[in-house]
Amino acid sequence: MFIDEAKIFIQSGAGGNGCVSFRREKNVPRGGPNGGDGGNGASVIIEATSDLVTLIDFQHRVHFKAAHGQHGMGSNMHGKTIPDLIIRVPVGTVIKKINETELERISVPKHEREEKEEEIIADLVRPGQRVVVAKGGKGGRGNTAFKSSINRAPRQFEKGVPGEEATIKLELKLIADVGFIGYPNAGKSTLLAQLSNARPRVGSYPFTTLEPYLGVFERDLIKITLADLPGLIENAHKGKGLGFKFLKHAERTKVLLHIVDMSGYDNKTPLQNFKMTNKELELYNPEFMKKLQIVVANKIDLDEAKKNLASFKRSVGKKYKVISVSGNTGEGVEELKNEIFAICK
């Protein structure tokens, strides 16, 4: 199951308390202080890994609490510093801090909560990249640290510093070179199978693609990643259909492949569907319109598509590069591969 958003509560460990202790040995008069320092609490660290592709693990576990540092002891024994708690997430995860207390998160029903301001902490785009999201508390000093020439038997000590806590939002944005966009039934999944090693579900009905699919094709030892996103329909920005919530996965791509069914769809011409998809893109994020876009005129093996192709190219070809293909027969696929490789190599 593909899950690309999750909200978790994190808490780092508190530092251990310092110790008050004095030497008590036979025949050793005036035994001095020997209370050790407390150990540091564990920090909470989020690390990106290429071994994960979804945030599904965070649907079942939402609390992450690191261990506290050990208290100091007599004989100048310091408390143990606890290893950090490492939370692993997929590469491409954006980490946001939500200004929400644990009490609010637990006690207020979800439908009654106000939208909280989100602060971006990090964007993990490389395997092994880390960020500390909650720093462990520092251990307190024992009474040995307070010994001086005028205070030979100190009873002072420090308590450990409490850990930090926060509500964190994890938002996965797939990292791909090429993003497939278009109306439902445009043939995106079929074309992905032609271009790459992916085997997505294919069917002649709307919304065959219910979640993003990734595929890879390789040439001259260069791997190019392709992402097929669910289709966009009119009023997607109002929550209609499936594709709109997945558009964030296209934000990182170098190029958009706009797949258009040349036979038309939903009683609309190919040009109308093309303009509608671009309109929904712009409503989601105007920056999309600055991204390089290749228009793929698909299904040209159909008679109706052949009739529409010339007029579509005249309308679109002045601004965009148009490549005619058939995902069904493979016609034009090699030309499309060459174009993708030239851009992404």
Q: What is the mean pLDDT of each run of 10 residues along the chain (345 residues)?
A: 86 96 77 92 96 89 95 94 95 88 54 64 94 96 92 92 94 88 85 76 48 81 85 62 69 91 89 90 86 94 92 92 92 93 89
**SS3 of residue 9 by DSSP:** strand
Whole-number Å distance between alpha carbons of 242 and 253: 20
Q: Are residues 39 and 161 located together in one domain of the fold?
A: yes
Neighbours of 272 (CB within 10 A): 15
User: Pick from 173, 187, 185: which is nearest to 233 by CA?
Assistant: 185
User: Pick from 324, 317, 211, 336: which is nearest to 261 by CA?
Assistant: 324
User: Pick from 91, 12, 94: which is nearest to 53 by CA?
Assistant: 91
Neighbouring residues of 81: CB distance < 8 A, sequence distance ≥ 6: 39, 40, 69, 70, 139
pLDDT for res 199: 62
Q: Are residues 268 and 313 located together in one domain of the fold?
A: yes
Model pTM above 0.75: yes
Whole-number Å distance between alpha carbons of 155 and 144: 9
pLDDT for res 140: 96
Show the beta-strand stretches assigned E in 127-183: 130-134, 165-172, 178-182
pLDDT for res 189: 84
The dihedral of CA 44, 49, 55, 58: what is its sign? negative
Task: Please name the amino acid found at residue 145.
Answer: A
Neighbours of 311 (CB within 10 A): 12
Last residue of a domain, one of 144, 172, 200: 172
pLDDT for res 320: 93
Q: How many domains does the chain have?
A: 2
Last residue of a domain, one of 172, 196, 231: 172
Q: Are residues 223 and 125 located together in one domain of the fold?
A: no
Q: Are residues 26 and 140 located together in one domain of the fold?
A: yes
pLDDT for res 282: 87
**SS3 of residue 222 by DSSP:** strand
pLDDT for res 166: 92
pLDDT for res 131: 97
Q: Are residues 272 and 291 located together in one domain of the fold?
A: yes
CATH number, residue 41 = 2.70.210.12
Last residue of a domain, one of 143, 172, 201: 172
pLDDT for res 205: 45
CATH number, residue 204 = 3.40.50.300
Tell me the residue range of the domain where 158 lies: 5-172
Q: Are residues 134 and 43 located together in one domain of the fold?
A: yes
Q: Are residues 151 and 12 located together in one domain of the fold?
A: yes
